[in-house]
Amino acid sequence: MAENGFETRSGRNDGRMVADTLLVHGLVVTMDPSFRVIEDGGVAVKDGKIVFVGKTSDLMNTCTGSHVIDCHRKLVMPGLVNAHTHAPMNIFRGYADDLPLNEWLYNYIFPLEAAFVNRDTVRTGTRLAIAEMLRSGTTTFNDMYFYTDVMAEEADRTGIRGIFTEALVDQPVHNGNTPGEVMGLTVEMIQQWNDHPRIRIAFATHAPYSANPDIYRTAKDLADKYNVPLHTHLSETRWEFDLIQEQYGHTPVGHLENIGVLDQNLIIAHAIHLTENDRHLLARRNVGVAHNPQCNMKLANGTAPIPELLKLGVRVGIGTDGVASNNDLDLFDEMRSSALAHKLVTGDPTVMDARTVLESVTSGGARMLGMDHMIGSLETGKQADIIILDLKSPHAWPHFNIYSLIAYSLRGSDVETVMIDGKLLMENRELLHLDEVALYSEVQDIHQKISHWQRQKQTS
Ligand SMILES: [Zn+2]
């Protein structure tokens, strides 16, 4: 600490603000509206919030504190925002790959979920996902699954930030026999977690092919009543696009417009198959789009027209989707995939440039989730969701352009330290509030049970 010059000065009663944590001498990428990048920069944190961002020398004149993190040769940036996940599916990583979506979903994933989704597996899967997200710099995620109460408990315990939704479909689900029952449960959860600083409960309708218009309308009314988002999958496959047109006489986007749920409170995951009218409708209604490039490529569903949507002013975040169709939660990897996929598909190397994809997992992702007043950039007054990356690796040198370094060269495994709401959750690559040894043993137990079930199925 002494080498930072703080110890000798902190004893003075000189009117400087006493902060809880001071990050000093880092390369600070703020992602604020003016895209400030600060060499030899610092961030001061107090009561969970950012109270200063600027040059280390200015920080030292403004703030003092005994907990100092030296970020020399390190990158300091906002924590990443994963726009669309199914975190408990982490226990199904690699179960079935290289299949068309419907075969993958109906022949593999749905039977597996019917047999193995319960409170215990959701707890373990969520914890595994949280460990993976923290290790790769994700500090906020927007989820849709079952047993949201268990997921919220794990998020509370581990310190991560998230939006949790219980998937509504026409059929009975793990957590309720009817959509009404699941909606009632969601309302109870919203009331229970209402005052939590990091956890938000919202609504989710799975997709227009699995949830009828009444479910969408009722969920939308409740989402508006409680001022929370409504999260759905939309226009993911050509099959869905054709089916919805046949069933309702509209495209999937047109269908949601027709039933009155298309507005700024709606978050749609995928948005691949869109007509020109659909794109303009999404912009006009200010709908949030969660773009999932790797999942879309893996299931060969197509590439969402994200460059066009961004041009129209649509709010876009990047998500990984569940690991069963990805197969990881590393948003650095996802940024790169997004930048490359759109260049390949459009034949235009200027689309989805490095800064644009970084925006989609930081400030833009936060805006898409309606959380940009709290997170997404390093600015005074925002929550201190901060990640520190080690730049002492061959792949991090040299760096002519910091956005290029982040989007094209760095990896989730370069993340060394993670702070959420000013609290350290990972320090020097050690998770401070999660027992990874115990976690891997639980995962191993579930893996053995699934393998046994799979063998029995094959022989029967
Ligand atoms: Zn999904």
Read off the CATH number of the domain in which 24 is found. Answer: 2.30.40.10
Comparing CA positions, the residue from 248, 282, 280, 246 lying closest to residue 264 is 282
Omega into 327 within 30° of 0, i.e. cis?
A: yes
List the structure tokens of 149. Answer: 């109460």
Cβ atoms within 10 Å, residue 171: 10
Q: Tell me the CA–centroid distance for residue 182 and ligand 1, in Å.
A: 19
Residues 67 and 123 in one domain: no
Q: Tell me the CA–centroid distance for residue 329 and ligand 1, in Å.
A: 13
Q: Is residue 435 part of a domain?
A: no
Interatomic CA distance for residues 330 and 148, integer angstroms: 22
Residues 301 and 413 in one domain: no
Residues 74 and 84 in one domain: no
Read off the CATH number of the domain in which 363 is found. Answer: 3.20.20.140
Q: Tell me the CA–centroid distance for residue 70 and ligand 1, in Å.
A: 39
* pLDDT at 102 (0 to 100): 84
* pLDDT at 13 (0 to 100): 52
Residues 174 and 28 in one domain: no
Omega into 398 within 30° of 0, i.e. cis?
A: yes
Comparing CA positions, the residue from 414, 210, 237 lying closest to residue 325 is 237
Q: Tell me the CA–centroid distance for residue 223 and ligand 1, in Å.
A: 19
Residues 348 and 252 in one domain: yes
Residues 65 and 137 in one domain: no
Q: Is residue 356 part of a domain?
A: yes
Residues 62 and 86 in one domain: no
Q: Is residue 234 part of a domain?
A: yes
Q: Tell me the CA–centroid distance for residue 236 and ligand 1, in Å.
A: 9
Among 318, 336, 368, give the residue marking a domain's end: 368
Number of domains observed in the structure of the chain: 2
Residues 74 and 89 in one domain: no
Spatial contact of 326 and 320, defined as CB atoms under 8 Å apart: yes
* pLDDT at 460 (0 to 100): 75
352: three-class secondary structure by DSSP: coil
Q: Tell me the CA–centroid distance for residue 86 and ligand 1, in Å.
A: 6
Among 320, 344, 368, give the residue marking a domain's end: 368
Spatial contact of 301 and 270, defined as CB atoms under 8 Å apart: yes
* pLDDT at 14 (0 to 100): 81
Q: Tell me the CA–centroid distance for residue 294 and ligand 1, in Å.
A: 12
Structural domain boundaries enclosing 191 = 80-368
Among 320, 340, 368, give the residue marking a domain's end: 368
Q: Tell me the CA–centroid distance for residue 269 and ligand 1, in Å.
A: 7
Q: Tell me the CA–centroid distance for residue 143 and ligand 1, in Å.
A: 9
* pLDDT at 458 (0 to 100): 84
CA angle 318, 75, 39 (to 5 degrees): 120
Q: What is the DSSP string of 183-218?
A: HHHHHHHHHHHTT-SSEEEEEEE--TTTS-HHHHHH
Cβ atoms within 10 Å, residue 314: 23
Q: What is the mean pLDDT of each run of 10 residues along the chain (460 residues)?
A: 43 80 98 98 98 98 96 98 98 93 89 95 98 98 97 98 97 91 97 97 97 98 98 96 98 98 97 98 98 95 97 98 94 97 97 98 98 98 98 94 98 98 98 97 97 89
373: three-class secondary structure by DSSP: coil
**CA-CA distances (angstroms) from residue 39 to 55, 56, 359, 391?**
7, 9, 20, 14
Which residue intervals of 63-106 are DSSP H helices? Answer: 101-103
Spatial contact of 307 and 270, defined as CB atoms under 8 Å apart: no
Residues 39 and 65 in one domain: yes
Q: For 351, phi and psi rounded to 5 degrees?
A: -75, 155
Q: Is residue 379 part of a domain?
A: no
Q: Is residue 449 part of a domain?
A: no
Residues 137 and 268 in one domain: yes
Q: Is residue 378 part of a domain?
A: no
Interatomic CA distance for residues 429 and 431, integer angstroms: 6
Residues 67 and 136 in one domain: no
- pTM to 2 decimals? 0.96
List the structure tokens of 196. Answer: 């939590």
Q: Tell me the CA–centroid distance for residue 84 and ligand 1, in Å.
A: 6
Q: Is residue 434 part of a domain?
A: no
Q: Tell me the CA–centroid distance for residue 276 and ligand 1, in Å.
A: 24
Spatial contact of 216 and 244, defined as CB atoms under 8 Å apart: no
Q: Tell me the CA–centroid distance for residue 321 and ligand 1, in Å.
A: 5
Q: Tell me the CA–centroid distance for residue 193 and ligand 1, in Å.
A: 24
Q: For 92, phi and psi rounded to 5 degrees?
A: -105, 15
104: three-class secondary structure by DSSP: helix
List the structure tokens of 284. Answer: 């006009």
Residues 326 and 395 in one domain: no
Q: Is residue 373 part of a domain?
A: no
Spatial contact of 332 and 324, defined as CB atoms under 8 Å apart: no
